[in-house]
Amino acid sequence: MSSSPPSMESLILQLHEISAVKFGNFKLKSGISSPIYIDLRLIVSYPSLLRQISQTLISAVPSSTPYDLLCGVPYTALPIATCISTSRDVPMLMRRKEVKDYGTAKAIEGDFSPGQVCLIIEDLVTSGASVLETAAPLRAAGLKVCDAVVLIDREQGGRENLEENGIRLHALFRLSEMVRVLKEKGKVAEETVAAVMRFLEENRRVAVPKVEKEKVRVKGLGFEERAKLSKNPTGKKLFEVMEKKKTNLCLAADVATAKELLDIAEKVGPEICLLKTHVDILPDFTPDFGSKLRSIAERHNFLIFEDRKFADIGNTVTMQYEGGIFHILDWADIVNAHIISGPGIVDGLKLKGLPRGRGLLLLAEMSSAGNLAKGDYTAAAVKIAEDHSDFVIGFISVNPASWPGAPVNPAFIQATPGVQMVTGGDALGQQYNTPKSVIYDRGSDIIIVGRGIIKAANPAEAAHEYRLQGWNAYLAKCSSN
């Protein structure tokens, strides 16, 4: 039978004994100066203590917390994670701090499958920056990261910063508890304790340092792999169409008549994965419009997205989706919705859409100047999507790479409107970005292009050029280090 984990007091005293706890004036990674420094790199030279810490640390994770894999934050936590992995027989991954430009050029080393849950192991947390730096490439590789366990919580905002990024922190003990034990055992002077406590009081929330994009950029998961993650048949099909046709272009077919729409759908159909409609602006709409458009979509292998932007309560949107004069449910593969009325809107649309295999995009951000879809609103959209991932296939977004906890679940598709060959805006507040900026820099998947194609002298040629630029940006993202 294995021995019981050592007490918190015993571990603190042992750490002090090997001089892993230092008092003085130290600059931390967060940039602030601290009167106390914890140097846990020393424990690799003390196998018995390393084993005790590892055994005790994993016991701080609630038994109800699921995980399939472990990943230690490089470098100090790597030996701790290794000990836990071998003693608990849990597979381990390693994150490279420096991704090489030769060999496999991987950011994450080890054997894993997208969708598995990875527990992050860390020695201590101040702002939480190191945990977030490790979580980013894990999430980009398709893994779920919801929890991190640390030996010491410095009580300086790390727990709150991680929570805002979707990660629960489990700590063996807090810095104030460590100092209290050392004081009670006569290991540290009263004035030193007072200095540490004053420091903690004055630095209750340390901001996460900004990290340059290129330091955390990792290879994006390909559409073929992401198709396997989708729980919705339409989401899966969209990924597959994109991969098969080598296109991530959506045409925003905002034309004046149904006849024009059907005509341009025929012309640009070979270049697109998705065609976006606003059916309520068509004065010549007839009941057979949907069947005619579906015939073109099937011939050229693209999906239909009615940009309805549902926003009412669940019961009302159910009727709007299925009935009225447009019968959107019958011909549109995908619709979208605001979440202003709460998750009930998804329940209402799902009631009719899911049995038909349809998919839903949530408006998480908008491309118009001064819009209110940002911050907490965006975070709420992500939460609703996760709760309804059998029906929600992704988001209308502008800069998903900037979202807290980014990158989000790769099973979700990101589609971004307001794309043109040059940046800028129009007189009505629409803001434009280039295909490369949207896909490579901002982390989106699909470029939604309207006027850049519709107003072109040759829409088919313009669509072909947008298709090439969008797809090349996607390939660059997938091969990026």
- Which residue, chain included where needed, has tokens 């699921």? 66
Q: Are 259 and 452 in contact (CB under 8 A)?
A: no
State how far the Cα of 407 lies from the Cα of 203, in Å rounded to an integer: 29
* 478: nearest Cα among 215, 174, 470: 470
Instruction: For the beta carbon of residue 52, count every other beta carbon within 10 angstroms.
Output: 19
Contact 91/111 with Cβ under 8 angstroms? yes
CB 57 within 8 A of CB 172: yes
**457 in Cβ contact with 451 (< 8 Å):** no
Element of type H or E holding 79: helix 77-88
Distances in Å between the alpha carbon of 202 and those of 206, 207, 285, 351, 453?
Answer: 10, 13, 65, 52, 56
Active site residue 455: no
Residue type, 85: S
Counting Cα atoms < 13 Å in the Cβ hemisphere of 403 gives 29
CA 271 to CA 477: how far, in whole Å?
20
d(CA 222, CA 240): 11
Tell me the C-alpha to C-alpha distance, in Å, between residue 11 and each of 54, 60, 91, 462: 11, 14, 26, 67
What are residue 121's DSSP bridge partners?
Answer: 72, 149
- 343: helix, strand or coil: coil
Q: Which of 188, 225, 192, 213 is nearest to 16 (CA)?
A: 188
User: 82, 75 in Cβ contact below 8 A?
Assistant: no
Q: How many residues does the chain have?
A: 481
Q: In this structure, are residues 235 and 394 in contact, taking their beta carbons and an 8 Å threshold?
A: yes
Q: For 70, which DSSP code? A: E
C-alpha span between 67 and 467 (Å, rounded): 40
405: left (phi over 0), alpha (psi -120 to 50) or beta: left
Tokens in use for 429? 């507040």
Are the beta carbons of 249 and 446 closer than 8 angstroms? yes
Tokens 């996607």 appear where?
Answer: 474
* Amino acid code (one letter) for 359: G
- Catalytic choice (106, 183, 228, 309): 309
Beta-bridge partners for 119: 70, 147
Give the residue numbers marked as catalytic: 309
